[in-house]
Amino acid sequence: MTGPPPLPPSHRIRSPVGGFLSLHARHAQSRTRFGRAHTMASPLQSLVTDDDRYQTAFQLFLQRSSEHQCMLDFIHAQLPDILDSVGHGKPHLNVIGVGSGAGQIDLEMLSELHLKHPAATVDNEVVEPSAQQLHNYKVLVGQKPELSFVKFSWNQMTAAQFEEHWKLKKTMKKADFIHMVQMLYYVKDPGATISFFQHLLAEKGKLLIILVSGQSGWGKLWRTYRHQLCNTEISQCVTTADIKSFLDSTGVSYRSYELLSQLDITECFTEGDPTGELLLDFLTEVLDFSKTASPELKAGVLELLRHPDCSVENQGRVIFNNNLGVLVIDHQS
């Protein structure tokens, strides 16, 4: 799914929109991204097994949704206040981007960090398993001479591999800002991953997490059809509601933000409409969902997608709730 789906979002906008591909982290490369191939019980096949169709569906999602815009709005309007106390006046800041994709969102955040702390230099650890995405990121950096204040360290590895690598180094280095945008769908244990990176925070450090909101249509879709649509091996049907429950249970304080986003899914309800079928593939992360799902599953998914819990109807259009959630966790002393 997307907005993130079961094989959720790899949102880091890619060209021509940008490089969020890893943001949403739902990329076809997710097959190698945070673990193993996305598998489903027969006869349903994961959308990511057909890279061309996946990419086409992802581009359609970008065109039809306001997801990337709501993320950019947050970065420019609210992130600066969050970053204000980061570093505590230090002349050098350490940043880690987990699942950085092609870097567009990373660079937007680094720009805001620089505006808040113009005198500080930055060491930026980029964690991204896709060689192609890392290449794209490096190309983007090469086009921006204004980033001379940043030293980039490139880590072609998954979050789990980075954790193992970090522990082997036995480094005492701490991070002032860590961001994980649309990538927790890919890790086996989101809670353990969050705990590890939180422990890397320096005093005044911040951990930023962006995921699908528990109040979104995705949340309702996943809660209802988790077993039919989601690959539970790598806990892909995770929302901010799940992460909040984990943080509450462990006594970790956090700040929460809701990012309003919409996705026009009107064509999903027209039998045989190519655009609708592509959107359904993306929403369910099932290849040719309309043709391969049982009549009961298809009818149930369509009914739920149109339900007020997931969508609103406006001037003949069906608008899916694609809201994102942001969680900000501080260094815990």
Average pLDDT over every residue of 245-273: 97
Is 203 marked as a binding-site residue? no
Is the model's pLDDT at 302 over the cut of 60?
yes
Name the band, by pLDDT with cuts 50, 70 and 90, for residue 45: confident
* Rounded distance between C-alpha atoms, residue 114 and residue 66, angstroms: 26
Give the rounded distance of the alpha carbon of 190 from its chain centre.
13
Number of structural domains the chain divides into? 1
Phi, psi at residue 152, to the nearest 5°? Answer: -95, 135
Model pLDDT, residue 1: 39
Domain with residue 190: its CATH number is 3.40.50.150
Q: pTM of the predicted model, to two decimals?
A: 0.84
Contact assessment for residue 236 and residue 5, using Cβ atoms and an 8 Å cutoff: yes
Q: Give me the domain span that covers residue 268.
A: 1-333
Is 322 marked as a binding-site residue? yes
Contact assessment for residue 184 and residue 238, using Cβ atoms and an 8 Å cutoff: yes
Model pLDDT, residue 235: 44
pLDDT digit string, tens, across residues 211-250: 999 999 999 999 999 888 865 553 468 999 999 999 999 9
**Cα–Cα distances in Å, from 212 out to 9, 15, 117, 125, 302?**
9, 22, 30, 24, 20
Average pLDDT over every residue of 204-214: 97
Model pLDDT, residue 232: 52
CB-hemisphere CA count at 13 Å for 191?
12
pLDDT digit string, tens, across residues 123-159: 999 999 888 889 999 999 999 999 999 999 999 999 9
Model pLDDT, residue 89: 85
Residue type, position 64, single letter: R
Model pLDDT, residue 98: 97
pLDDT digit string, tens, across residues 113-130: 999 999 999 999 999 988
Strands 311-314 and 317-321: antiparallel
Task: Tell me which residue of 316, 2, 49, 15 sits closest to 182, measured CA to CA.
Answer: 2
* Rounded distance between C-alpha atoms, residue 135 and residue 131, angstroms: 6
Model pLDDT, residue 44: 83
